[in-house]
Structure 1
Amino acid sequence: MFACALTALPMAVLAADLDTSDAGMPQPQQFDTERYGDFRDRLANWKVTIGTGAIYMPEYEGSDKFDVNPFPIFSAEFGERVSVDITGVTVDLYEANGFRVGVKGGYEMGCKADDSDYLRGLGDIDAGGVIGGIVSYEAGPFEAYATLDKTIGGSDGLTGTVGAKASYKYERFIFSADVLGTWADDKHMESYFGITSAQSARSGLAQYDAKAGVKRVDVKASITYMATENWLVTGAAGAGFLMGDAKDSPIVKDDVQPFAMLGVAYRF
């Protein structure tokens, strides 16, 4: 069920707001290597955050039924250019004066037809790898970004996002807000929202051709509370609004796709 549900959120929205380096909290003391060993000391240098939570979201992209699923929290920075989170790996190729260009690799989890009664007869969408690039510009608390991602296997689709983010840190709290739009090509749209003649015969839904275009617009707000210099509690809520051919698909029962997440994590 979780794989199908994750397609209801664009990858940019999934990335946790866990950059606590300037949160106004005292930095962790140097670890005692004799007590903890070199591995824990390396984690401190790598800025690793690990935790778990729960997410409330639609069964699939377009569903009007919701599930609560466990949700992993993970982020890590390796040096100045490499970062990792649950969406994949990003490597910065160029960074200067707030402008950043990078490449990234990740995954698309696909969708199982038996994850929802609405999808029965439509067949599975296989998982696939994702490669892409990101361009962003940051000025103070504001950041604008654009991404382009190609799925290899699975939907074999191409998606792009354009978004903006604002963040504010006050004492132990980190507040952020995001807005972004997602465009998808014919292959992605047809995989997730189209219905072929064979699928129509099996499912009873009308045949439907989903064309390339703006798929959805998302808004999100999050709050992270630094309980100590290591422990944090984070929560986020938002909604996606399906657009164009995605909104008009027979599998879409509700074009408004809300979600909420709450978790706890430990920062090394």
Structure 2
Amino acid sequence: MNHCKKRFPQAQQHKSARRALRLTALTATLGAFPIAAFAADLETDDAVMVPPQQFDTSRYGDFRDKLHDWKVTIGAGAIYMPEYEGSDKFDVNPLPIFSAVFGDRVSVDITGVTVDLYERDGFRVGVKGGYELGRKEDDSDYLRGLGDIDAGGVIGGIVSYERGPFEVYGTLDKTIGGSDGLTGTLGAKASYKYERFIFAADASGTWADDKHMESYFGITSAQSASSGLAQYDAKAGVKRVDVKGSITYMMTENWLVTGAAGAGFLLGDAKDSPIVKDDVQPFAMLGVAYRF
């Protein structure tokens, strides 16, 4: 059975772009993409050398040293994913790939910016800023009558400890606007390099507060009347557990192909919500990127 629905081309384009960005944020946040995680590891020692006499460093400063500190990866791919969190219907959407690392402290990807405040002996504490794109009721027929969840900004923190190929981490994110929710994630991941391959695996659990749960899984009396779904009160708790793996292959020093697959398992009040048609949420992605 074909799960992808037919819609007017322009509306479908807007929907696909919106969902692609939203799932990019979701999968990147949950560690599905190897790109951001391994940007520093993919750095090459080769640099394009320009004769110094072409630059007046006393006037402009030696900005070449600053540019060399940036490690940038950019590309595109496709992702197979549910229409929304809890759906049993899937779409294939285009997926932008982008990450940039500056020095040892600042990293940027399509989800936002992370700044490391403290790092010592594998222990790291950082802050981050980004966004939550919310949800549109026209993302799926199942959501009709539930209204939109507005976009909002996200501020948060991250604590992690890395030893060899293993890392444990915890994040706490507050959405300002939109759902106004608070979410926390605890997880562990491992990576391994073999010749031109980078393998990674990640497992995590996500907790959400009342505001987040009510926004994405609850149904008010007004929404019940509009949608025909039963009224439902979603409380705070662990909403999902995620497992995933990824493989990156370095075709050349600059070109790479990356793939990831995994599944999220909705739990508690999220799993029991009337809008959830399937509590197992698989995804798969494939992309090609170039690193500078």
TM-score by length of 1: 0.93
1:17: which partner in 2?
A: 34
| Match 1:249 to one of 258, 268, 273 | 273
Change (3 A) 1:118 1:40: farther
Query: How many angstroms apart in 2 are the aligned matches of 1:15 and 1:131?
Result: 20
| Match 1:167 to one of 178, 182, 191 | 191
Letter in 2 for 1:17: P
Larger Rg: 2
1:184: which partner in 2?
A: 208
Letter in 1 for 2:147: G
Change (3 A) 1:220 1:15: closer
Q: Percent identity?
A: 81
Letter in 1 for 2:246: S
| Match 1:212 to one of 213, 216, 236 | 236
Deviation by residue 1:123-159 (Cα, 9 ceiling, x = unmatched)? 0000000000000000000000000000000000000
Q: Shift of residue 119 of structure 1?
A: 0.2
1:29: which partner in 2?
A: 46
Query: How many angstroms apart in 2 are the aligned matches of 1:131 and 1:144?
Result: 21
Change (3 A) 1:243 1:173: same
State the SS of the aligned residue for 1:110.
coil
Deviation by residue 1:53-109 (Cα, 9 ceiling, x = unmatched)? 111000000000000111111111112110111221000000000000000001001
Question: Which structure 1 residue ranges, 5 or more long, are not aligned?
Answer: none
User: Is 2:287 the counterpart of 1:266?
Assistant: no
More off after superposition, 44-53 vs 222-231: 44-53
Question: Which structure 2 residue ranges, 5 or more long, are not aligned?
Answer: 1-14, 56-61
User: Is 2:212 the counterpart of 1:195?
Assistant: no
State the SS of the aligned residue for 1:48.
strand
1:15 and 1:86 in contact (8 A); partners too:
no
Q: Shift of residue 9 of structure 1?
A: 3.6
Change (3 A) 1:136 1:167: same
Change (3 A) 1:198 1:22: closer
Q: Shift of residue 13 of structure 1?
A: 2.1
State the SS of the aligned residue for 2:275.
coil
Change (3 A) 1:66 1:40: farther
Q: Shift of residue 21 of structure 1?
A: 4.6
Query: How many angstroms apart in 2 are the aligned matches of 1:171 and 1:20?
Result: 16
Pairwise CA RMSD of aligned residues? Answer: 2.1
1:14 and 1:87 in contact (8 A); partners too:
no
Q: How many residues align?
A: 264
Query: How many angstroms apart in 1 are the aligned matches of 2:27 and 2:236?
Result: 16
The structure richer in helix per residue is 2
TM-score by length of 2: 0.85
| Match 1:229 to one of 213, 230, 253 | 253
1:140: which partner in 2?
A: 164
